[in-house]
Structure 1
Amino acid sequence: MLQKITHDAFKSHGSIRILYPGLAMPGQDSGIGSIGRIDHATVHGRQHIGMHPHVNDEILSYFRTGKVQHIDSEGNKDTVGATRLMLMKAGKRFYHEEYIDGQNEPFEGLQIFIRPGGKDLPPEVIFHDLKEHDSENQWRLLASPASDTAFTFSSQTWLYDVKLTARKTLALPPLAEKGFTALLYVYQGSVKVNDEIALNKMESLVSKNEVISIQADEDAELVLFLTDENAAIFKDGMYSGNVKNI
C-alpha cells in the first residue's frame, strides 16, 4: 500500500501548518497508529506562545533553524534549536511556554505529537544534543521504544531523519520490513519514490508492506516515522488524540 499526502491536507493556524495524517487515509482516525499530528512552523521575527497545557501527548521538538526558549511546569528552562532537541512526555498534565527567536535566523521546525502507550503516564522532559546537524545519506534513529536511543517513546514508534544529497538513492531502514506502517515526510527539497511518485516539501508518503527506493535530484531533508498499528496506544491525548469533524 502506498498513499501520497499532499500539501492540501494541511490545516493553517497562523505561522503553523497542521497535518493530521489519518485524514488522508480510509477510516475514522485522524492519526495513523501512534502518529497523531505533525505541526510545521515557520516564524520570521520573535513570537511568544504563552503557558499552555498538554495531556497525554509525547511531543518531539525537531527545530532545524532558529532557536526556542522552553520553560515548563516541571522546572525546566532551556534553549532548543538545530542540534539540541527536546521530548516532552506530558502524561497526566504538563504546562509549558515558548519564546521563539526567528529574528536573526528565520525559525523553522516540526513539533511532532506521538500518542503514548498508555494513559496518564508520569511527565518527563528530555533534552539531547546531536553530534551533527545532518546525517548525510544514512538514516539517523532519533527516537524509539528502546531505552538506548536518544529519546524513548512509550509507544511502538520509531523516528528517523536523513539528509539525502543530490543524485543519491536510499531504501527504508530494515525495520520497515517487519510489517510496520511508514510515513515518509519531506521537510525540505524534493524526492522521487520508486521512480514514479514525486514528493515535494511538506508532502508525505504512507507505505506498508512495500519495498521503497527514494531518489533525490537535489538535496532533501527527510523525516521518517514507523508505527506498529497493532500495538497499544492511548488515542485521546489533548493534541495527539483522534480528532473528529475537523
Structure 2
Amino acid sequence: MSVVERSIPRGCLTPGSPRSPVIAKAERTTENAIASVGFVARAYFPGHLEHGLADHGLGPLATIMESFLAPGTHIKLHEHVQDEIISWVPAGIMRHDDPQGGHLTLDADHLMIMNAGRGFQHEERTRNDDPPLRMLQIFVRPQVADLDPHIQHGRLPKLETNRWRHVFGPTGSEARFTVRNAVECHDIRMNSGDTTILPSRSGWRTYFFIFSGCIEAEEQTFSEAESGLCPEGAEVRMRAISESLVVAFVVDPNASVYRVGTVGDGETVRRMAAHVRS
C-alpha cells in the first residue's frame, strides 16, 4: 500500500513527530483492484497488518473495498458466491436490482448486506442525476460453505456525533443487521477535538478505517483511507484532528472461516494482495 498525493488537513501530519508501535498502520492505496468505465475499486487487506500472517484477511474479515461509481454507471448482472457483502454508503447513492424483484436504494441512512451463500445475482447502478458515489464494500468470510442466500436492507440507526453506532454484528447478536461469522462493525462521526475509545472485545482484534478526515491514536495520525490494527485487549483512545468519519471492525481472529468467496478471496484479490506484499 502506498501514499497518494492529496490535500491533508492542516496539522494532520507533523514531520518528526513520535510514532508509537502499538498500532500497525496501512497508508492509502493508489492501485486499483478493479477499474472499468465509471467504476473503480481499491482493496485493503486487514491481515497484512498482522506481523507474520500470510493471510490477506484477518480471520473472518477478508477484504475492504473502497469503491467509486460515477453518475450514470451501470454494473451489469453478476453473481456473488459465499461472501457476506456489506455495502456501506456514506457518500452518494447506490441502486441495487436483482432477478428476485429487489429494487433497493442505498445511501447514508440505508445499509444492505448480501449473504451470498450458494449464490446471489444482482446489478448496481447510479443514475445520471445521482451524486458521485464513494462507499465501502466489506467482504466477510462465512463460517461454512453453501449457506442459504438472502439479502438484508433497511434503515440504519441515526448516527449521532461522537457516539459509536452499531452497524452490523454476528448472527444471534442484538445487531439490526447480521453476518454469519464473528465480526462486529461500528461507525462514528467526530468533530475536531472530539475523543473516543475504539470498540474492543476480549480476545478479539480491532481494525479501523478512516473514511474521511484525520484522527490521532497512540501518537500516530491516520488520514483519509488509512487504516490501523490495534493489539489484542488494548484500550485505544482516538482524537479527531478534523471532522472525521471512522468505521471500526472488532474481529475474532480465531473464528472458523470458509475462504472461497467470489471477491473477498477471489483471484483478483489474491493477486492484488500478493502484489502489494511483494
TM-score (norm 2): 0.81
Give the equivalent residue in structure 1 for 2:14.
none
Q: Higher strand proportion, which one?
A: 1
State the AA in 1 paired with 2:221: A
Aligned residues of 1:57 and 1:113 also touching (Cα < 8 A)? yes
Task: Give the % identical residues.
Answer: 27
> CA separation in 2, counterparts of 1:53 and 1:178?
36
Residue 66 to residue 101, structure 1, CA distance change in 2 (3 Å)? farther
What is the SS of the residue equivalent to 2:47? helix
> CA separation in 2, counterparts of 1:239 and 1:140?
27
Give the equivalent residue in structure 2 for 1:143.
168
C-alpha deviation, 1:28, in angstroms: 1.6
Unaligned runs of 5+ in 2: 1-21
State whether structure 2 residue 202 is matched by structure 1 residue 202.
no
Aligned residues of 1:165 and 1:218 also touching (Cα < 8 A)? yes
State whether structure 2 residue 208 is matched by structure 1 residue 187.
no
Give the equivalent residue in structure 1 for 2:108.
82
C-alpha deviation, 1:159, in angstroms: 0.5
Matches within 5 A, 1:60-75: 60-75=86-101
Aligned residues of 1:65 and 1:107 also touching (Cα < 8 A)? yes
Residue 46 to residue 190, structure 1, CA distance change in 2 (3 Å)? same
Give the equivalent residue in structure 1 for 2:24.
3
Aligned residues of 1:234 and 1:241 also touching (Cα < 8 A)? no
Give the equivalent residue in structure 2 for 1:212.
236
TM-score (norm 1): 0.91
Match of 2:119 among 93, 116, 124: 93
Match of 1:34 among 56, 60, 80: 60
Match of 1:155 among 152, 171, 181: 181
Aligned residues of 2:83 and 2:115 also touching (Cα < 8 A)? yes
Cα displacement string for residues 122-171 of structure 1 (whole angstroms, at most 9, x for unaligned residues): 00101120243x33111111111134311111101100000011101110
> CA separation in 2, counterparts of 1:165 and 1:221?
9
C-alpha deviation, 1:101, in angstroms: 3.4
Residue 102 to residue 124, structure 1, CA distance change in 2 (3 Å)? same
C-alpha deviation, 1:177, in angstroms: 3.8
State the AA in 2 paired with 1:191: I
What is the SS of the residue equivalent to 1:91? coil
Unaligned runs of 5+ in 1: none
Residue 149 to residue 165, structure 1, CA distance change in 2 (3 Å)? same
> CA separation in 2, counterparts of 1:60 and 1:73?
19
Cα displacement string for residues 224-243 of structure 1 (whole angstroms, at most 9, x for unaligned residues): 00110111111221112272
Residue 84 to residue 102, structure 1, CA distance change in 2 (3 Å)? farther
What is the SS of the residue equivalent to 1:105? coil
Aligned residues of 1:73 and 1:94 also touching (Cα < 8 A)? no
State the AA in 1 paired with 2:258: F
When the two structures are aligned, how many residues end up with a matched partner?
Answer: 242
Cα displacement string for residues 40-70 of structure 1 (whole angstroms, at most 9, x for unaligned residues): 1223322000111111000011011222221
Give the equivalent residue in structure 2 for 1:55.
81
Cα displacement string for residues 171-202 of structure 1 (whole angstroms, at most 9, x for unaligned residues): 023xx1412111010001010102x1110000
Matches within 5 A, 1:107-146: 107-132=133-158, 134-145=159-170, 146=172
